[in-house]
Structure 1
Amino acid sequence: MSRITGAVKVGGVVGQPVAHSLSPFIHNLWLETAGLDGAYVAFAPKDAEGFDALLAAGRAGLIAGVNVTAPFKEQAFARADQVTEAAKQVSSANILAFREGQIHADSSDGVGVLYALAQQAPALTLRNAHVVMLGAGGASRAASGALLAAGARLSILNRTRERAQALADDLGSGVSVATDESVLESADLVINALSVPPHIDLLRLPASAVVMDMTYRPVVTPFLAAAKARGLTIVDGLAMLIGQAGAGFEAIFGQSPPDMDMRAALMAHLGETA
């Protein structure tokens, strides 16, 4: 029986395209499990003006909050009235909560990375760990801030050194630009923040290294499969997605997600095996 009444709280995910998003599945399952009077839908504004129209609806009290994905993260940050330090650090936002006509912005990308590492690589200590980040785009920037705050030191390995240097300069102390793959030989953690499969020599990594991929389709990417075959601990993007989603659910619906095995539900939904 539907729990939706006239007091329903509406949230959603906004992006273009957005039909592929797993967020509606995640949030609606949490809502159903918790028995909350809420609904979570997908919004696909055709352009920046459409996104602004959605924000106006939020300010007017029609929407409780949204998760934001490409290409609207920077616009979400720019339009917000209040932003967290995490959002300021990356100059973008993937969570917007609408409260009394105000837009509150946050970024949970870093939270998602820390959650995934805690779930799938619990033996890894981030304080003083050497992290090699593959890529220097927005995903790399979001993860880097949280890792630095946890006490890690960072090396950015990117095809274009100028872009890596620009990110390193923005992030400040504790970050350097790698000149070549020799940096892998002292890595405690390698994170793929590229949208394409990386081509690095995994044999250079210590046997104790952890390898993470921020993408999740498939859950075990070829990059992770190669690392696993080498006997390395792997961390997948699905765990990161769940960690990000939890922060969004709390911001939008005002409480923590219910205690349940969301990973098992997602794996079944995706038709994948553990």
Structure 2
Amino acid sequence: MSEHHESVDQAAQRLRLGERQSVFRPVSMPKRRSLAGLIPALVLFAFVLVLFGSAGLLTSFIGIGVSALFVLMIGAAVAGITMTTREARGDQEMHVFDHGVVIRGPKGRVLPYRFDETRLIRHGVKPAGSSDRFARWSYGLLNPVTPPVLMGQGVAIGAVWRNAGDVDLTNLLRVAQFERIDVWGPALEDAITRAHLPRTLQELSAGREVAFGPATALPHGLAIDGKVLPWGDISALRIEGGFLRVKVKGRFFTSSVKANDVPNFLVLAAVVNHFSAVPLE
């Protein structure tokens, strides 16, 4: 069924996503930012009114005509901004279900993703002067069937490109910035981890490796930064300076990769914790 004609509920039923848990809608910030662009015009309008008033021309034919023209121009600008904002956001929504998420994106496109078939790109943006644990996260969803999407603020397209794999990026979409990223972001992270971790552990138990972008989980250890670190030797796992750093017992230096480049980042962290009893710091 075409993604343009399928409803959110139909997509969720087709992919057996279970019960709907929550719905998130776009934030209203873009409209406020756009309206801020009218401030110079309003200041100019006020200046003209003062100038005409001091010259006694405010009630003249010229004064009335100029004032009416300014009012029409500002009104048209406000209407245009409102229409543009509505067109950009439309009726976009993100519906989170038990086993997946369905996004109603630009122009009404319905984009469904099962958690166990989707890779999550997590990109951190740190406020100036803060530590990594205060980073604001943005997200990308990569699926072999549904077009990939970018969500949140400042998603690094480069990280998505580097982890595309078999995903067609010609249909890459940027959807609205949905409200409460502090709620739905961790919810997606947790759901992706719960969906992928059991299968990942099964693959490793069967002697097969599992790739996480620049890092690879092996049956006997973690391949990272050109080294293979045995599970039993890993003593610490943390994000520092935008890097995922892995500390090994008896070594001063750590092995590291860019955290933003690791798809299903928290799945990898859960694998390390499973085999090494080392939680992510």
TM, length-normalised to structure 1: 0.25
The higher radius of gyration belongs to 2
- TM-score, normalising length from structure 2? 0.24
Relative to its length, the structure with more strand (as a share) is 2
